[in-house]
Amino acid sequence: MNKKQKKALFRILASGALFLLVSLLPVDGALRFGLFMIPYLIIGSDILKKAGKGICNRQVFDENFLMAVATVGAIALGEYAEGVAVMLFYQIGEWFQSYAVGKSRRNISALMDIRPDCADVERDGGIVRVDPEEVEVGSVIVVRPGGKIPIDGVVIEGRSTVDASALTGESLPQEVEVGSAVISGCINRSGALRIQTTKEFGASTVSKILELVEHASSKKAKSENFISRFARYYTPAVCYGALALAVLPPLARMVFFNADPQWQQWLYRALTFLVISCPCALVISIPLSFFAGIGGAGKAGILVKGSNYLEMLAAAKYVVFDKTGTLTQGVFEVNGIHHSKMEEEKLLEYAALAESYSTHPISKSLLKAYGMEPDLKRVSDVREIGGNGVTASVDGRAVAAGNGKLMERLGISYQECTQAGTVVHVAIDGSYAGHILISDRIKPHAKEAILELKKCGVKEIVMLTGDAFAAAAQTAEALGIETFYSGLLPADKVEKVEELLSRKKEKEKLAFAGDGINDAPVLARADLGIAMGALGSDAAIEAADVVLMDDDPAKIAKAVRISRKCMRIVYENIYFAIGVKLLCLALGALGIANMWLAIFADVGVMALAVLNAIRALFVKRS
């Protein structure tokens, strides 16, 4: 609770206590009026000032004007207790709204705390503390235990665990060592690290997150814009309606029935009508529901760039996935050695040494599986054949490692592999020695993500990939995806998404999830782009509407659940607020509802709607 909220709460408690005390005192006349004016001015002076400023600025019709007219009118009619009560309970509702907004804002502000205040840079043999924005690419920074990593980079010395919970929503620390990529905003937990920066601060992960958070509130949902437009026309309409209610029935009684006009009774009804009509519940609770939804998603490591995207996410009926790096880890590893005529470890050793000079991902996976530093003295006469593989002399023996084209080029017969993946055929001294199967690994929660999306009511899940059909089919079968397309270039992926867009209904939305720079065109073309943010490319994050900070595809289903919960709360508040208002307005116009029921219709409905909106902040950990 901030100082402003504490001050407002003190005013509410003080005026509430005085109101109760005055109500119990057996006094009448001017003394009673004077005593009631004390709590009224304590609690309502700021509302009266705002109403006065609105009139001076020709922006008359707002909730401050409604409250000022209704309460001053009630006091003028001698209904002192009701006038003070309306202002008191209105301020209680405003305090609830302020507290709710503050709570959701603090939730988002937790993300803002990831911004580092300084960076320790190595310069001239010493360490200089500077603003992160002054650190150049390639600089070496030192991050001590307990410090925030200020800029994206690569660890060049040290070993530690880093806490990325402020970014991802997950508390499990990650191990980092020499060669590990680290992102800004994480907290170094154990050992000191020397990090070589790979980006400027403005392009680092933490800067991008802060930028996304700061601009999230500017993109409004359709229902949010509707409420803003509704309030703009609704408030003047009810003011004129209240004026008509105060004047026309008494005049009609005088002119047509020659009866007592009952001016005081109809003025009281008009004032009751004004209090009931105040649109606070809608104007406050609907934006707050979206704000809380974005805050709740941020707490779970899901950054939504605006409430309009939260609304679209709730309507997602088609979800299209890129394969590599999204459903799979994008890390190739040796998954089998087949048809080997020698010990499997020996065959792997020959292949790894032959590939030791190459920087190709396949070569790296062979060296990783080999598990030892290659002795380059054992390797000579290395020749890399583009699109085929390599030939080399290892320990004086002629080794060839590559695809089927290389074997055909060398005139060596080879065994086809029936399993999906990349196959490295190996020949030694002109004879086929077997092949090594290399494939990508499926992400741990990928299958869970598909199952959860189906439970959420997503009609169709599609996988797009540039991989060969066999590899795509194997991944799709393992994950339970019925529809997939393989061998696609980036332009082909856009074409497939456009085909799906043409098939869906108008109110249904299509979301595409990807991580690579080649996914940026598809992310932009889909109704809703979801980027796997922590390890994804800058272009993908820029093009996307939703960013998952920990590259976990299961977060997509969580994002859909959060968005649907938020939209459910929005519509609950709209139907509840409008329904109660219309009923009470009718009762007020007929003279059945008094000022106390008007207080519930205004303040009570607003308080209930605000409390309901706060529910969007809370996200289940599952």
Give the catalytic positions in this structure.
322
Q: Compute the half-sphere exposure of residue 4: CA atoms within 13 Å on the CB side of its CA.
A: 6
CA distance to 318, 520, 528, 551, 557, per residue, from 497 (Å): 10, 13, 11, 22, 20
DSSP 121: E
Task: Give, for 462, the enclosing helix (H) or strand (E).
Answer: strand 460-464
* Other Cβ atoms within 10 Å of 223 Cβ, number: 19
Residue given tokens 């590939």 in the structure block:
355
d(CA 568, CA 73): 38
At residue 345, the 3 state secondary structure works out as helix
Task: Give, for 272, the enclosing helix (H) or strand (E).
Answer: helix 263-277
The CA-based angle 590-592-595, given to 5 degrees, is 110
Tokens of 526: 């889909």
Edge-to-edge strand list for the sheet holding 174-176 = 174-176, 160-163, 187-188
d(CA 471, CA 22): 81
At residue 150, the 3 state secondary structure works out as coil
Q: Do the Cβ atoms of 540 and 517 come closer than 8 Å?
A: yes
CB-neighbour burial class of residue 81 (10 A; exposed 0-12, middle 13-18, buried 19+): middle
Q: CB under 8 Å to 528, separation ≥6 — which residues?
A: 309, 312, 313, 316, 509, 510, 511, 512, 545, 546
- Strand pairing report for 126-130 and 153-157: unpaired
Tokens of 386: 């583009």
Tokens of 383: 């020749």
Give bridge partners of residue 334 from the DSSP assignment: 438
At residue 494, the 3 state secondary structure works out as helix
Q: In whole angstroms, how large is the CA radius of gyration of the chain?
A: 34
Q: CB under 8 Å to 526, separation ≥6 — which residues?
A: 320, 497, 501, 510, 511, 512
Chain length of the chain: 622
d(CA 578, CA 72): 26
d(CA 514, CA 330): 12
Crossing angle of helices 222-257 and 307-314, in 10° steps, is: 100
φ and ψ at residue 130, rounded to 5 degrees = -135, 170
The CA-based angle 428-429-433, given to 5 degrees, is 30
